Structure 1
């Protein structure tokens, strides 16, 4: 499949404009993402329609806590990524040659309608570099009344993002740090494009944000304060998931302590209505009214919505931004 968002250059070279790397790729070579290849001066998507993994997941696993809580969704993913985070949890499919399968479009749609699934989540690897396939499937799914969810690092250029957004119902976007130096050192990318993705997406779809807290790297009180303040400047009702780091891929630092996560949550709550801790067993991740602390969603009961009526808290009438 020929890629969208690239230009042809002299000597069979091409320049890709999908993501902020804007790779210039010589004939026969691939881009940083390892999923787009220059073949005789035409940029080809190597992962179009190639699935490395699929499963039915609780929507909370994405994680999306304010998007049809208690529901299931079909998760599909391919291979490749345009960042190279030292702590990558899915490095086998992001950076290595992976076994793939091809599933017909109609069968994906059928799977998306089965087992109580509300739609399709594009996840596991970085879905934006499967752009042509995700764009194609999202349009099909939308026509069939299914929800489309993007679990993404947000590292995409504005024009392709704007073209995709009308077909996306919910996004979980990784904001790995609020410091550009962290992106450069640990993720081999940059901060500003991710911030721009969050700003644009927040205007047109449901957005939740995940930050993996790596102790000693992005866990300082000043940084958490700055991160939460920035998210709050867009919308203080945006859910923030502070996720526990475990050693993975190239990063061998000790796992993040419980106390560090709790302290980060306390700081973030100064600016945000909803802050959750992820990757920790047994933590209270119920949703409470930011005004009166009435319980809105009970997650011990598979996401039972109990304290909301007509998008308002039943106790105090506070407006609640939860899709259910």
Structure 2
């Protein structure tokens, strides 16, 4: 059973990662931003605040909405393909990405955004009842509501459901360890491969994300994949893509899938051009040429770039048309996969047959 969280008189959950400064302010220690707050102030993330000389989570149990998605939408192509996942987020974010495509939630400063409520046990029960195999913390970064996410993950595990984090990985050591202890899979946004981009476009740092990726690879059993949103003229040069892919191969290995996805003008980058499909194809080819075995294109209709191919014989292992699955060429046993044609190992977490959820997106209303 999940331990009861300690709350304040206002009903906010007391968090673990903070300390007092000599000048009386309270520093939040969840992410490298290290917001230093006085009584009543909120961090940049909006949902962590200073109350009664401690840091509290103001959004525990509240959400901007619940929806059943295909797991491929996270995107995760090598984790229980074809299965439904109950997805939700809250409000706020600890990054400030100018291109954010969920800015109405991640940049929200209105508690009205969090109109839906659900306890961890209720979420797990609904996920199980609706046939979901997992729950995903997404739409905004779960790092900032990690206490809620951890409790949901524990409730999910009690019902044999998996937990998925969609995150930028911008967090400090101790919270990182506590958070990923309860995750089964993750998609990590590797937003670019220069500090200039991270600082100028995201208000963050590349190094912190790389440290999270190294931690996931070498200190956990979490299955994880990468996503890079390519923005013309900002992070799509051959030189940067070569450097990124080389780092991935040398530090994470050749089996970590990467998704190159298309940018469309949004929030504070409305004047930038959309990403041409040819850019995604070029990036995918650079990744494959660098030795990465599984590279994908996203946010465009590209069956070849979205399908999984055997790294050894190049046969189709799993055909995808957007989120609809086709040909299946994987022999799976005890969660592990192998090519039916040549027997080469296929990295990921697989069942004997893919799920049949398809491309459906089904909103879910919680009932108290």
Question: What TM-score, normalized by structure 2, do the two folds share?
Answer: 0.85
Q: Secondary structure, in 3 states, of the residue corresponding to 1:181?
A: helix
Residue 186 of structure 1: aligned partner: 201
SS at match of 2:289: coil
Shift of 1:248: 0.4
Q: Distance in 2 between matches of 1:210 and 1:309?
A: 25
Corresponding residue to 2:242 among 212, 225, 228: 225
Query: SS state of the match for residue 197, structure 2?
Result: helix
CA distance in structure 2 between the aligned counterparts of 1:231 and 1:144, rounded to whole angstroms: 34
Find the counterpart in structure 2 of residue 245 from structure 1: 263
Are the aligned partners of 1:73 and 1:120 in contact in 2 as well (CA < 8 Å)?
yes
**Match status 1:33 vs 2:56:** no
Displacement, 1:166?
2.2
SS for the counterpart of 2:133 is: strand
Is residue 2:73 matched to residue 1:61?
Answer: yes
Task: Determine the C-alpha separation between the residues in 2 that align with 1:12 and 1:52.
Answer: 33
Residue 283 (structure 1) shift: 3.4
Partner residue in 1 for 2:286: 267
Superposed CA RMSD: 1.4
- The 3-state SS of whatever aligns with 1:299 is strand
Assess if the C-alpha contact under 8 Å between 2:99 and 2:268 holds in 1: yes
Q: Which moved more, 1:202-211 or 1:239-248?
A: 202-211
Q: What residue number does 2:330 align with? A: 307
Determine which of 209, 222, 231 is the counterpart of 2:226. Answer: 209
Task: Specify the SS of the correspondent of 1:86.
Answer: coil
TM-superposed CA distance for 1:28, in Å, is 1.4
Unaligned runs of 5+ residues in structure 1 are none
Q: Supply the distance in 1 between the matched residues of 2:235 and 2:120 (Cα, whole angstroms).
A: 41
Offset at residue 298 of structure 1 (A):
2.1
Structure 2 unaligned regions, length at least 5: 1-12, 351-368
Shift of 1:267: 0.9
CA contact under 8 A between 2:318 and 2:325: conserved in structure 1? Answer: no
Partner SS for 1:302 = strand
Map Cα deviations across residues 126-148 of structure 1 (whole Å, 9 max, x no partner).
11100111111111211221100
- 2:353 aligns with none
Q: Distance in 2 between matches of 1:40 and 1:167?
A: 29
Q: What is aligned with 1:94? A: 106
Between the aligned partners of 1:163 and 1:124, the Cα distance in structure 2 is 21
Mapped contact 2:223–2:348 kept (Cα < 8 A): no
Distance 2:319 2:67 in 1: 24
CA drift of 1:12 comes to 4.4
**Which deviates the most, 213-222 or 129-138?**
129-138
Report the alpha carbon displacement of residue 11 of structure 1 after superposing the two structures with TM: 5.7
Q: Give the secondary structure class of the aligned counterpart of 1:106.
A: helix
CA distance in structure 2 between the aligned counterparts of 1:9 and 1:307, rounded to whole angstroms: 55
Q: Counterpart of 2:309?
A: 288
Q: Does 1:85 align with 2:97?
A: yes
Q: Aligned-pair distance for 1:99?
A: 3.9
- Give how far 1:217 is off: 0.4
Q: Report deviation, 1:312.
A: 1.8
Question: Do 2:303 and 2:320's aligned partners in 1 also have CA atoms closer than 8 Å?
Answer: no
Q: Which runs of 4+ in 1 moved over 3 A?
A: 9-12
Query: Structure 1 residue 120 and structure 2 residue 145: aligned?
Result: no
Distance 1:116 1:303 in 2: 21
CA distance in 2, matches of 1:303, 1:164: 35
Structure 1: distance between partners of 2:216 and 2:57:
24
SS in 1 for 2:303: coil
For the residues of structure 2 that align with 1:229 and 1:27, how far apart are their CA atoms? 46
